[in-house]
């Protein structure tokens, strides 16, 4: 049976593609827009049937958090309806669905790391659309893993790391918020964890799990930016500011640290500290 990776040109999809050769016994099919649109039920259904898809890793999403506030219809179409399309096809063809979700399903008012069972209460359109996508999968899909992550970055695509490296080379100083706390996640580490987990699943077994995955450790965006400048050897001074001094269209949770005990306990997954992974990714980018 084949493994379909949707949204395969994005950050996470690209990292899965980069590591797929570590699993030579598995056959992966990497698809993104315009070749496979997860909101197009007929197209996804035909593809899954013709290609005998046994597992789907859904990396496709509408991820523009600020834009989603004024473009809610598009965010819900991809993040909720697209998830539902994949869940229905996975159900029809007995496929396992691995779906990626976000720390933004939480409102950020907690003081201790969020567990999978904690109450979801998203505060923006993107978070609501991702939460409703999760719920559609739980309703429809007989076998799934929903894996929530946070602050994803990679050497592919646009992300905070690459923005900081660019601004750090252009400017003498910049302001970064210090009152939003979370855990950066290397898309490469996450791709490795997903493939490790998938490789250990049994096609005869039904899975219905929600997990959290991010790198170990906790920081603010300010700390993250300081580490990036430090590791990259950039002289740009980073100034800590409050979120109120850096207005953004969408509100963000102030605290979105994820408790990862469940995925580590159930699958024996080792998770690196965010700074070790950051060092590796910056070395890769500056090579
Ligand atoms: N980025 C983060 O900080 C972060 C944090 C927490 C969780 N997550 C979650 O992690 C997952 C992966 O995120 P990422 O950063 O890798 O996202 P990404 O880089 O934005 O990649 C998403 C990919 O999906 C594609 N896509 C959009 N609509 C599609 C559709 N209708 N059908 C098929 N493909 C479609 C995008 O194409 P276009 O570029 O052409 O739109 C893009 O290639 C997502 O579920 C996201 O919600 C991300």
Which tens digit of pLDDT belongs to each residue from 20-40? 999 999 999 999 999 999 999
Look at residue 103 and tell me if it is in a domain: yes
Instruction: Yes or no: say if 126 and 250 are a contact pair by the CB < 8 Å rule.
Output: yes
Output the domain CATH number for residue 39. 3.40.50.720
Q: pLDDT at position 60, please? A: 98
63 lines ligand 1 (CB under 6 A): yes
pLDDT digits (tens, 9 = 90+) for 205-241: 999 999 999 999 999 999 999 999 999 999 999 999 9
Minimum CA distance residue for ligand 1 atom 44 = 61
Instruction: Yes or no: say if 150 and 256 are a contact pair by the CB < 8 Å rule.
Output: yes
Look at residue 24 and tell me if it is in a domain: yes
Look at residue 118 and tell me if it is in a domain: yes
Count the neighbouring beta carbons within 10 Å of the beta carbon of residue 236: 19
Look at residue 176 and tell me if it is in a domain: no
Q: pLDDT at position 176, please? A: 97
pLDDT at 183 over 90: yes
pLDDT at 156 over 90: no
- Number of structural domains in the chain: 1
Look at residue 243 and tell me if it is in a domain: no
pLDDT at 179 over 90: yes
Minimum CA distance residue for ligand 1 atom 48 = 152
Residue 12 CA: nearest ligand 1 atom is: 16
Look at residue 237 and tell me if it is in a domain: no
Structural domain of residue 81, as residue ranges?
A: 2-158+185-216+252-272
For 243, the token pair is 């979120």
- Burial tier of 99 (Cβ tally within 10 Å: 0-12, 13-18, 19+): buried
- Alpha helix segments (H runs only) across the chain: 11-19, 41-50, 72-76, 83-92, 125-140, 160-170, 187-199, 221-232, 261-267, 274-286
Look at residue 144 and tell me if it is in a domain: yes
Beta strands 181-182 and 219-220 are: antiparallel
Answer yes or no: 126 catalytic: yes
Ligand 1: residue of 16, 18, 31, 32 to mutate (most ligand atoms within 8 A of CB) is 32
243 lines ligand 1 (CB under 6 A): no
CA of 172 to the centre of ligand 1 (A): 32
- Residues whose CB falls within 8 Å of the CB of residue 47, separated by 6 or more in sequence, listed in order: 4, 31, 36, 53
Q: pLDDT at position 247, please? A: 86
User: Which is catalytic among the residues 126, 144, 153, 211?
Assistant: 126
CA of 32 to the centre of ligand 1 (A): 10
pLDDT at 1 over 90: no
Q: pLDDT at position 273, please? A: 98
186 lines ligand 1 (CB under 6 A): no
Look at residue 226 and tell me if it is in a domain: no
**pLDDT, the chain, mean:** 97
Q: Which residues pair with 144 in a beta bridge?
A: 97, 208
100 lines ligand 1 (CB under 6 A): yes
pLDDT digits (tens, 9 = 90+) for 231-286: 999 999 999 999 999 989 999 999 999 999 999 999 999 999 999 999 999 999 99
Percent of the chain with pLDDT over 90: 96
pTM of the entire predicted model = 0.98
pLDDT at 76 over 90: yes
Q: pLDDT at position 56, please? A: 98
CA of 185 to the centre of ligand 1 (A): 15
């Amino acid at each position: 049976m084949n493994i379909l990776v949707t949204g395969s040109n994005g950050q996470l999809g690209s990292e899965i593609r980069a590591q797929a050769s570590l699993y030579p016994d598995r056959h992966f099919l990497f698809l993104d827009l315009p070749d496979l649109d997860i909101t197009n039920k007929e197209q996804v259904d035909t593809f899954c049937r013709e290609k005998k898809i046994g597992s789907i890793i859904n990396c496709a999403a509408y991820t523009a958090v600020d834009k989603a506030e004024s473009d809610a219809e598009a965010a819900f179409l991809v993040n909720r309806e697209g998830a539902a399309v994949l869940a229905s096809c996975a159900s029809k063809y007995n496929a396992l669905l691995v779906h990626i979700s976000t720390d933004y399903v939480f409102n950020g008012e907690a003081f201790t790391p969020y567990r999978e069972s904690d109450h979801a209460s998203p505060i923006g359109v993107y978070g609501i659309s991702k939460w409703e996508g999760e719920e559609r999968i739980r309703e429809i899909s007989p076998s799934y893993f929903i894996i929530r992550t946070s602050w994803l970055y990679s050497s592919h695509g646009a992300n905070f790391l690459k923005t900081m490296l660019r601004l750090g080379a252009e400017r003498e100083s910049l302001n970064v918020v210090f009152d939003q706390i979370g855990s950066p996640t290397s898309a490469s580490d996450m791709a490795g964890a997903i493939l490790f987990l998938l490789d250990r699943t049994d096609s005869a077994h039904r899975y219905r799990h929600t997990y959290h995955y991010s790198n170990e450790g906790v920081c603010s965006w300010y700390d993250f930016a300081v580490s990036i400048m430090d590791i990259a050897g950039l002289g740009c001074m980073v100034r800590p500011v409050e979120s109120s001094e850096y207005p953004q269209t969408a509100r963000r949770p102030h605290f979105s640290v994820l408790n990862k005990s469940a995925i580590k306990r159930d699958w024996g997954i080792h998770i690196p500290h965010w700074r070790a992974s950051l060092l590796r990714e910056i070395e890769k980018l500056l090579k």
